[in-house]
Amino acid sequence: MRPFLRATEFRGGAYPCGNAEREGCFREVVDCGGNNIVAVCRQEWEPCDEISLHSDDTVLYEIDFQSFTGVIAKALGFRGQDLVEDERCPWPIGLLPDGPGSDRTVFLIVETSLSNFLNSVLKVVVHTQGRKVILAPTSEFKGTDAQAVLAQHLIPLYPLEELVLGQEDGSLVSPARLADIVSGKAAKMVGTSPGTRLRGRGFEPNGSDHRKVAAAAAKYGKDWMKRLPDVCRELHQVEADLPSYWKKEQMVESWEEIALEVEGPGRATNREKVSSYIRYRETWVSENPPDST
């Protein structure tokens, strides 16, 4: 990542200590005036040695994201696109030709937990139209819930660690173009192939639960987001299944408990996760109407 780092106008207040495994061990950056800057360990017992620093040692850097995603697009042979500054993950980083007059949107997801990764996958499903493909640094957070969503919507996910190699100058190279990988002409597709998906309108093992969730939200109209706790309590009444990632991460056993998790100030992240989950279920129902029989 070094070639994609750029200096900011900010300076850091901490510096790495010699014993990274010791809890609470860090050096505080102390400006003693002039060019005299030192990093002092704040561990009470057996502190690490003091270090003299140059002013450049305290500069904070950030990733030049446009440059980084542009290099990914070039290496994998798809058309890159500019990103909105400060837009939260998932990031639409380009377009992949997908037949005459049709493009597939390429998303990059970089998350640090199973629940956040799944939430980003749900956002890809809910907030965008057309066909998609997802890139991620690794497949570490591709849990069973995320795999189910990807399979249902035929969205392939590829770990960059299997597709590209980094060079010392910051360039990336790939033995195959993303279009060939998606089409099956090159490399093994990570995820679900269209041939493995069961066909037929409305035929899904958990279709009944999809419809329970969608019906509960529909009861409150288009503004159900404003009454999200009520929607959750409605889901409790109809005994809708809980998102398994919520049970694992949040340690809750009922929609009543989830209703409490999305109420009040400071619950924006939980509200976003639950609302994305419900919108995903609504989208599935709209795309899979019940069979006329």
Instruction: Please give the structure tokens belonging to residue 127.
Output: 């907030």
CATH class assigned to 65-196:
alpha beta
Yes or no: say if 27 and 42 are a contact pair by the CB < 8 Å rule.
Answer: yes
User: How big is the CA angle at 95 (ends 286 and 111), to the nearest 5 degrees?
Assistant: 75
Domain boundaries, the chain: 2-63, 65-196, 207-287
* pLDDT tens digits, 141-165: 888 888 888 988 889 999 998 888 8
- Identify the pLDDT of residue 106: 94
Yes or no: say if 161 and 151 are a contact pair by the CB < 8 Å rule.
Answer: no
Yes or no: say if 157 and 190 are a contact pair by the CB < 8 Å rule.
Answer: yes
**Nearest C-alpha neighbor of 215 from the set 125, 281, 117:** 281
User: Could you give the CA distance from residue 120 to residue 187 in angstroms, rounded to a whole number?
Assistant: 25
Judged by DSSP in three states, 51 sits in strand
Low-confidence ranges of the chain (pLDDT < 50): 187-205, 292-293
Please report which helix (H) or strand (E) contains residue 97, including its range: strand 91-97
- Identify the pLDDT of residue 158: 92
- Identify the pLDDT of residue 195: 37
Locate tokens 């924006």: which residue?
268
- Identify the pLDDT of residue 200: 32
* pLDDT tens digits, 169-205: 767 888 888 988 888 766 443 443 333 333 333 334 4
- Identify the pLDDT of residue 271: 82
